[in-house]
Structure 1
Amino acid sequence: MVGPQRPLFVLFGSSIVQFSYSNDGWGSILSDLYARKADILFRGYSGWNSRRAVQVLDQIFPKDATVQPSLVIVYFGGNDSMGSHSSGLGPHVPLPEYIENMRKIAIHLKSLSEKTRIIFLTCPPVNEELISQSTSTIFTRLGRTNEACGRYSEACIDMCKEMDLKVIDLWTAVQKRENWRETCFIDGIHFSSEGSNVVVEEILKVLKEAEWEPSLHWKSMPTEFAEDSPYDVIAIDGKTTINISEWAFHRKIQWD
């Protein structure tokens, strides 16, 4: 550990998490916003489904860890929703099992600490035409449809409401964007910078509105070593100074 200790955020999921540092991704945006606010860890595993995630919960989130996360953002479902293979192999997980797996994840995370907050992300939509044009991989052979993503998204929302968990309906939020099929993806599945902007906007909306104590919204959290000192300020006009530790955040006006 490197101190001082900051709140710990963990992003846990499949490739939507693993690739969230690429293409001006939503993970990199959050890391930028929370610089000097929180430590953000990525636990993203491309190709994984909820079945695989449940198998490693104790390894990724040990209950006896000295430091437990303040926030965990969870995404699984896109791979689960894919078509099944006759061999029984592949990423597909039947919808009832998917919900049971997500429930197990939620129960485990809630048991870590009474201060651990949780946000689930639902399946985003997909651009089926772009998938078929850009790849001949498993996504095309087994099928990844917008309709299936919608069903898994709706089921995840219902489960979260039942368990009183925060959930972000990415399937709906992305499709509200103008020309979302063309602008929100790099390959029909994974987010472009525009798609990642949608994810960040929705996450920040939840964090701002949540009645959590302490607040985990970036503008409400203290900045590490933010006190004024001769080393932390710069002169503007010979009279006025600004604190550099806070100045960078003022420039990120779009994320208010």
Structure 2
Amino acid sequence: MAVAEAGACGRLLLWPRVVLFGDSITEFSFQEGGWGAALASRLVRKCDVVNRGFSGYNTRWAKVVLPRLMGASAAAERTVAVTIFFGANDSALKDVNPQQHVPLEEYAANLTSMVHYLKSIDISEDRIILITPPPLQESAWEKECLAKGDKLNRRNATTGEYAQACVRVARDCGTEVLDLWTLMQKDQDFSHYLSDGLHLSTKGSSFLVGQLWSHLEKRLSALPSLLPYWRDVDPQDPEASLL
């Protein structure tokens, strides 16, 4: 059977999908050892993991682009989970990094706005997971800033205020939340979770995947593998197995 004929006979396979929406911590998540790549590996042949991370973005910009990334469509219907992972840039110090800084109250309002938008395109709150920014290891991040000729432009205590706001938004909106800022600091030396004081190391990515999977497992673990295992394909009549 020709490929075109097979396509006409078979029903188009539409993969479920998980959308990862965030800043550089999300954009870099498909690098070697990254948390997005690890999640995709767990879900291979069951679900697409879509990276929609934008380095340097804050929630002020994210809420503008979200409708361009996800609209009311069959793709939204197939979306089984969305992570919203912002705050590392919003919490930049206003006097040192005004371009990325977003005031705390606006940050919370922006997160709320994004959740409401997703619900408006029929992605229910039980499919939305907010993730707080991770803690900041100030001495390591200061070295990164100084190497670029800048002053330290973030503080861990300030990041913690944004993490708490994220948790409150999740509570108020009825979504799930992964409080990475608090969870990582249960380890007295959380620096090994970070590659440069701000972004996740391989160990930090592994920690995030483990925590995130506890939120996703109940929704995704029952997804079937798409298309049969190769040993189950009839070699004499593969169309009977594959179409």
Shorter-chain TM-score above 0.5: yes
Indicate whether 1:5 and 2:6 are aligned.
Answer: no
1:159-200 CA distances to partner (integer Å, 9 max, x unpaired)? 11111110000001112246321x111111111111001111
Q: How does 1:44-59 map onto structure 2 within 5 Å?
A: 44-59=53-68
Runs of 4+ in 1 over 6 A off after TM superposition: none
Q: Which residue of 1 aligns with 2:200?
A: 191
> Which of the two has greater helix per residue?
2
Q: Which residue of 2 aligns with 1:24?
A: 33
Tell me the TM-score normalised to structure 2 length: 0.83
Task: Give secondary structure in 1 for the equivalent of 2:52.
Answer: strand
Q: Are the structure 2 counterparts of residues 41 and 3 from structure 1 closer, same or farther at C-alpha, using a change threshold of 3 Å? A: farther
CA distance in 1, matches of 2:142, 2:195: 13
Indicate whether 1:67 and 2:75 are aligned.
Answer: yes
Contact 2:137/2:198 (CA < 8 Å) preserved in 1?
yes
Q: Identity over the aligned pairs, expressed in percent?
A: 33
CA distance in 1, matches of 2:166, 2:133: 9
Contact 1:82/1:139 (CA < 8 Å) preserved in 2?
no
Letter of the 2:16 partner, please give it.
P
Letter of the 1:62 partner, please give it.
G
Q: Which residue of 2 aligns with 1:144?
A: 154
Q: Which residue of 1 aligns with 2:6?
A: none
Indicate whether 1:222 and 2:211 are aligned.
Answer: no
CA distance in 1, matches of 2:32, 2:154: 22
Match of 2:43 among 18, 34, 40: 34
Task: Give secondary structure in 2 for the equivalent of 1:196.
Answer: helix
Q: How does 1:171-190 map onto structure 2 within 5 Å?
A: 171-177=181-187, 179-181=189-191, 183-190=192-199
Match of 1:163 among 166, 170, 173: 173
1:74-126 CA distances to partner (integer Å, 9 max, x unpaired)? 1111100010137x941000000000000000000112225571101001101
CA distance in 2, matches of 1:23, 1:136: 27
Letter of the 2:44 partner, please give it.
A
1:220 shift after superposition:
2.2
CA RMSD, 1 decimal? 2.4
Q: Are the structure 2 counterparts of residues 23 and 61 from structure 1 closer, same or farther at C-alpha, using a change threshold of 3 Å? A: same
CA distance in 1, matches of 2:183, 2:202: 15
Contact 1:77/1:123 (CA < 8 Å) preserved in 2?
yes
Task: Give secondary structure in 1 for the equivalent of 2:212.
Answer: helix
The runs of 5 or more residues in structure 2 that have no matched partner are 1-10, 235-243
1:116-156 CA distances to partner (integer Å, 9 max, x unpaired)? 71101001101101111234367953621110111100111
Indicate whether 1:95 and 2:85 are aligned.
Answer: no
CA distance in 2, matches of 1:142, 1:132: 5
1:175-233 CA distances to partner (integer Å, 9 max, x unpaired)? 2246321x11111111111100111111111123xxxxxx423x32211124573559x
Higher mean Cα deviation, 101-110 or 222-231? Answer: 222-231
Task: Give secondary structure in 2 for the equivalent of 1:11.
Answer: strand
